[in-house]
Structure 1
Amino acid sequence: MTDTAERASVWAGLAAPVLSLVGVLLATLVSPSFAWTGNALSELGGPADPVATDLTRLLFNGGLIAGGVVALGFGYALLLTARNLVELAGIGLFGLTSLSMALIGVFPLPQAAHFVVAVSFYVLLSLALWVYGAGGVLAGDRTRGGVTVCLGVLNAGAWTVWVATGRVSRPGLALPEVVGAAALAGWTVATALGVRDRLDIAS
């Protein structure tokens, strides 16, 4: 039973980014008028015609909800392989990040809670990567820990540049949004593979 739970948790780490990021990217493709330089990703899940349709709402909101919930299941494998208290703190922040991602889909535009959970997601994302990465460095895993910290910097940097160069809500908000989403997806897959090796789970 324990081996089954560990395997399922690792697979959750591999599946979560597919559900969320692929869902978002598919929504951009099927949208009648979405443009990376003209829209925010969240518009795909809202009522705004002609950017959003029933299909884009299903893909975007459903993908974020499913991906966030499944990502929480990855927490078990992360906890089993935590090497210090700093990594444990990072895992807790990862759980909050996953929950925030799911809530973006639960509270789509134009609901008032959408802004709160969307901002929380991107702030928590960098914090989770910084803390978990620092824990990896302290555990002697300098390369993986350093890359994790850099991904957190990448997310924060994208938003810093965006805020510094104009209004936050201007057209093209999807650009900094997708940077953080891609950073999270890449980290989750790479970490799930690393955790699988540490748990000695056959693929």
Structure 2
Amino acid sequence: MFRLSFLQRVGVVCGFVVPIVAFCCIGVAVLFYPEFSWFGNALSDLGVVSGVSAPVFNFGLLAAGLFCFFFAVFGLFDHFKDSFVGRVGSIVFAVAAVWLMAIGVFNESFWPIHFIVAAAFFVTLPFALLILTVALYRRQEVKLAVFTLISSFVAALPWLLLFIVRYVSNVAIPEIISSLTVSIWIVVLSYRILKTSKF
């Protein structure tokens, strides 16, 4: 068992904060925009409506992306300091966090930039988890590797099904499933780092 450095503690705490900030802001934005439909809208539609919803939603994405970036750089990257593959996965995860911040900055008013950064975010996330799966397996953390692999597939599956079946008319459902899956993974990894160290 080792003691976390100050920056590692920051990374772990940020990992726990990411889903709190993201989903609280999404929840408030939905609450103040009753016309929102989970089957007919994209989450990003909340970022351009009048009233409270837009600033709360965009701030939530920007803040969650920033916390996610700190988690990747100070938490994940240092946790995989003995693994080249793990560090690559951590960097890719940090890039995904940058894309998340960009979604909050470049809302739907900035088309097609918004589409590019949103697509990049949802493609980069499962890709980062796939890389980290390899790193965890090489470290013989098999259960965590399997969990990470499953999380990667669950994050990508709603998008693959959407292109094949078109089970909803817009993308809010695949967005929330993918985001929730990765958020759970972040919390689990933060807990894992915390459990194997002295805070």
Both proteins in one fold, TM over 0.5? yes
* Aligned counterparts, 1:71-82, within 5 A: 71-74=68-71, 75-82=73-80
Q: Are 1:16 and 2:18 an aligned pair?
A: yes
What is residue 49 of structure 1 aligned with on the other side? none
TM-score of the two chains, using structure 1 as the length reference:
0.89
For residue 20 of structure 1, report the CA deviation from its aligned partner.
Answer: 1.6
1:40 and 1:171 in contact (8 A); partners too: no
Q: TM-score, normalised by structure 2?
A: 0.91
Identity of aligned residues (%): 25
Deviations 1:8-33 (A, max 9, x none): 22111111221122212321222121
What's the secondary structure of 2:62's corresponding residue?
Answer: helix
Label 1:4 to 1:166 Cα distance change in 2 as closer, same or farther (>3 A). Answer: closer
Shift of 1:196: 1.4
Give the match for residue 84 of structure 2.
Answer: 85
AA matched with 1:123 = V
Counterparts in 2 of 1:6 and 1:166: CA distance versus 1, 3 Å: closer
Q: Is the 8 A contact 2:61 2:100 kept in 1?
A: yes
Deviation of 1:5 after TM superposition, in Å, equals 2.5
2:93, 2:128 within 8 Å by CA — same for their partners in 1?
Answer: yes
CA RMSD of superposed structures (Å): 1.6
Give the distance between the partners of 1:85 and 1:8, measured in 2 at CA.
22
- 1:121-178 residue CA offsets vs partner (Å, 9 max, x unmatched): 00000101111122111110111111111111112111010011239xx733101111
Question: Is this contact kept in 2: 1:155–1:180, CA < 8 A?
Answer: yes
Q: Retained in 2: the 8 A contact 1:134–1:146? A: no
SS in 1 for 2:35: coil
Q: Which residue of 2 aligns with 1:56?
A: 53
Match of 1:174 in 2: 172
| Alpha-carbon contact 2:83-2:135 (below 8 Å) kept | yes
Distance in 2, Cα, partners of 1:87 & 1:6: 16
Q: Any idea what the Cα deviations from partners look like across 1:23-75, whole Å, max 9, x if unmatched? A: 123212221211111111110002xxxxx233111221100000101211112
2:12–2:194: 8 Å Cα contact kept in structure 1?
yes
Aligned length: 193
Segments of structure 1 that go 5 or more residues without pairing to the other structure are 47-51
Q: Is 1:200–2:198 an aligned residue pair?
A: yes
2:94 corresponds to: 95
Kindly report which structure 2 residues correspond to 1:93-172, keeping only aligned pairs within 5 A, or say none: 93-112=92-111, 113-166=113-166, 171-172=169-170
Retained in 2: the 8 A contact 1:126–1:153?
A: yes
Q: Which residue of 2 aligns with 1:70?
A: 67
The code of the aligned residue for 1:19 comes to V
Q: 8 Å contact 1:81–1:198 — kept in the other structure?
A: no
For 2:190, give the aligned amino acid. A
State the match for 2:184 in structure 1: 186
SS of 2:39's partner is: coil
